[in-house]
Amino acid sequence: MDRKTLLAFALIAVVLILTPWYMNLVAPIPEESPPASTGPIQGTQPQQPTTPTPRATSTAIKSVETNKQQSIEVGNNLFTATLSNRGGGSFTSFILHQYSKHDSTKVNLIGEENLDNMLIGFVSLDGDRVALDHNWTVDTQTSSFVVDRNEKHVAFKTFHNGNVVRKTFTINPDSYQIGVGISFENPDRYISRDQYVVSWAGGVASTEKNTKDEYTYFKGYAYLGDELLEPSAPEGRVEAEKQTGNTRWTAVKTKYFISALIPETYAVGAEVLGSTVDGRPHFETRMRQNVSSSNRYNLYMGPLDYERVESLGVGLESTMNLGWAIIRPLGRLVTWSLKKMYGIIPNYGFVVILFAVLVKIILNPLTKKQMVSTRKTQALQPQIQRLKEKYKNDSQKLNKAQMALFKEKGVNPLGGCLPLFLQMPILIAFFTVFRSTIEFRGAPFFGWINDLSQPDTLTTIGGFPLNVLPFLMGATMFLQQKYMSPTSGDGGQQKFMLYAMNVFFLFLFYSFPSGLNLYYSVFNILSIIQQKYFIPEVNLSSSGKSAKISK
């Protein structure tokens, strides 16, 4: 490939690879500010925009109980959770047994910023607003239990306008799903169109070391019919999206974990609010439901594992960052293949190496065609250089003469680039998989490479991380391009483009996941071996039909 083609490839690579970052970091800002949130439960009357705090409290509480705060610890083989009687069962901790943080402690999905979760409030037709976030009565004769076989329950009750309101949690064995039942003893005493709201404020607690990167994945959602409400989180104000209609679920998520409330029968509406406070995105979801004798929900709190999330059957996998729609099937195929291989080779580092070998074998016809085309172009360089000297003052005639030469010799000038572009979807799929798929979170290879979803930082020098694999990737790319790039008379410019391109890719890949750099390094090494030992030299005679290939 000549230097113009190399430049075109570099620019296309920038667009393809940087677009996921761009989509994560950039969101449109509406011209008008929507109603703001000042607490987990609010009415429908418009208010002036305000900046929410991580933990807001209701200003319209009507409570007839003065119970002391109590906690009940529940769990199974997958998690241990603590439920407070505040609000009739708000989680004060939710610890996942199978996932650890960078400091070796277990992941806890609840922090100070999201203690206002699973709260119930009312919005009546006459405008009364009531948040039942006081301490309810514990209606269970136990302080803790672990479910290993049969499901167990913990219940709370309170009074609203003289009527009993009950909230019951059902803990199942070996599941991240928790049943939630909300019942009213005398629903007929309410106005027929009275509604209550189940809210979750504060999102999910941060779990990753690189919080700046993790915050780009913080989101709040509501799914109504086929419409996904997904507001942004602007700094200094609140953005809200509110709809009435069949609500399938509401959810808040981080990079790897999610909390989703799924009603057994469609709710009647939802609202999602987002804002950023001190650099951290905050999201609140509110699901509206009609008052009835009983409403049941399924609360999923756990990892964004595709198979688990998809098995819920409500489209919750749409919250997962799987790349562009055209890339998602390939990303799912890559993830499925890697997981199956991991079942045989329990080290994702070696799995990535083996996967690179398999991809190289599959793409061999394309890459072989690419390398042969490149060598044909190299063989034509002396003639191309003479044409440049002959038509140095007439670019139009030069282009026509070059195209005639390519046609005469049977050379496609783009034949060396097309296979590279066809490989880009695989590279993008790998980028998505290793950047946001939970299976590769914390997956070690060896030595200092202890997390293939993060850069392989060996040490830090003056606060700057020293990552090794990006240099290996850059070196292999340099060698590959050095031997594949056609030589021409403007060697100085060509060398500059070669070095500049590799410095650019080194800079681009430096903060990428180590799994991606490992894959690309191995793929480049295999390409160099293929190029050196399995691609013949090409000699072109005066006729394209009599081209000769020799070692």
State pLDDT tens for residues 517-531. Answer: 999 899 999 988 888
DSSP string, 198-233: EEEES------S-HHHHHTT-EEEEEETTEEE----
Mean pLDDT of all residues in 60-76: 73
Which residues on neighbouring strands pair with residue 220, listed in sequence order? 252
DSSP string, 97-140: EEEE-TTSPEEES--GGG-SEEEEEEE-TT--EEE--SBPEE-S
- In angstroms and rounded to an integer, the radius of gyration of the C-alpha atoms of the chain is 30
Instruction: Give Cβ neighbours of residue 122 (< 8 Å, ≥ 6 apart).
Output: 128, 129, 130, 132, 160, 194, 195, 196, 197
In whole angstroms, give the CA distance from residue 394 to residue 313.
Answer: 65
Task: Give domain 61-320's CATH number out of 1.20.1200.10, 3.40.50.620, 2.70.98.90, 3.40.50.150.
Answer: 2.70.98.90
Among the residue ranges 214-218, 227-231, 334-338, 480-484, the one predicted with the least confidence is: 480-484
Contact criterion met (CB below 8 Å) for 301 and 109? yes
Contact criterion met (CB below 8 Å) for 314 and 264? no
- Torsion over CA: 210, 215, 221, 227 (sign): negative
Output the pTM of the full model: 0.78
Pairing state of beta strands 219-224 and 152-160? unpaired
In this predicted structure, what is the pLDDT of residue 126?
63
Structure tokens at 38: 């000042």
- Torsion over CA: 204, 207, 212, 217 (sign): negative
Rounded to an integer, what is the distance from CA 274 to the centroid of its chain? Answer: 18
In whole angstroms, give the CA distance from residue 182 to residue 264.
Answer: 11
SS3 95: strand
- The conformational region for residue 462 under phi > 0 = left, psi -120 to 50 = alpha, else beta, is left
CB atoms within 10 A of CB 125: 10
In whole angstroms, give the CA distance from residue 429 to residue 451.
Answer: 18
> Shortest CA distance to 248 belongs to which of 221, 267, 273, 272?
267
Contact criterion met (CB below 8 Å) for 92 and 5? no
Q: Read off the pLDDT of residues 472-508 as tens digits, 9 standing for 90 and up.
A: 999 998 888 776 655 555 556 666 776 787 888 888 8
- H or E element that contains 349: helix 348-362
pLDDT > 70? residue 543: no
pLDDT > 50? residue 2: no
In whole angstroms, give the CA distance from residue 84 to residue 462.
Answer: 45
For 39, 283, 326, the CA distances from 275, given in Å and listed in that order, are: 13, 7, 31
For 34, 62, 297, 524, the CA distances from 222, given in Å and listed in that order, are: 17, 28, 15, 44
In whole angstroms, give the CA distance from residue 203 to residue 57.
Answer: 16
- Torsion over CA: 319, 324, 327, 329 (sign): positive
In whole angstroms, give the CA distance from residue 56 to residue 6.
Answer: 55
Rounded to an integer, what is the distance from CA 73 to the centroid of its chain? Answer: 31
Q: Read off the pLDDT of residues 70-117 as tens digits, 9 standing for 90 and up.
A: 999 999 999 999 999 999 999 999 999 999 998 899 999 999 999 999
Structure tokens at 496: 């500059």
In whole angstroms, give the CA distance from residue 187 to residue 332.
Answer: 46
Q: How many helices (H) and strands (E) does the chain have?
A: 12, 23
In this predicted structure, what is the pLDDT of residue 484?
61
Among the residue ranges 135-139, 316-320, 419-423, 425-429, the one predicted with the least confidence is: 419-423
In whole angstroms, give the CA distance from residue 44 to residue 87.
Answer: 21
Contact criterion met (CB below 8 Å) for 90 and 84? yes
User: What's the one-letter identity of residue 337?
Assistant: S
pLDDT > 50? residue 120: yes
pLDDT > 90? residue 541: no
Instruction: Tell the residue number behind the tokens 């100085």, with chain if given.
Output: 492
CATH 2.70.98.90 residue ranges in the chain? Answer: 61-320
pLDDT > 80? residue 289: yes
In this predicted structure, what is the pLDDT of residue 100?
94
pLDDT > 50? residue 551: no
Structure tokens at 482: 């050095």
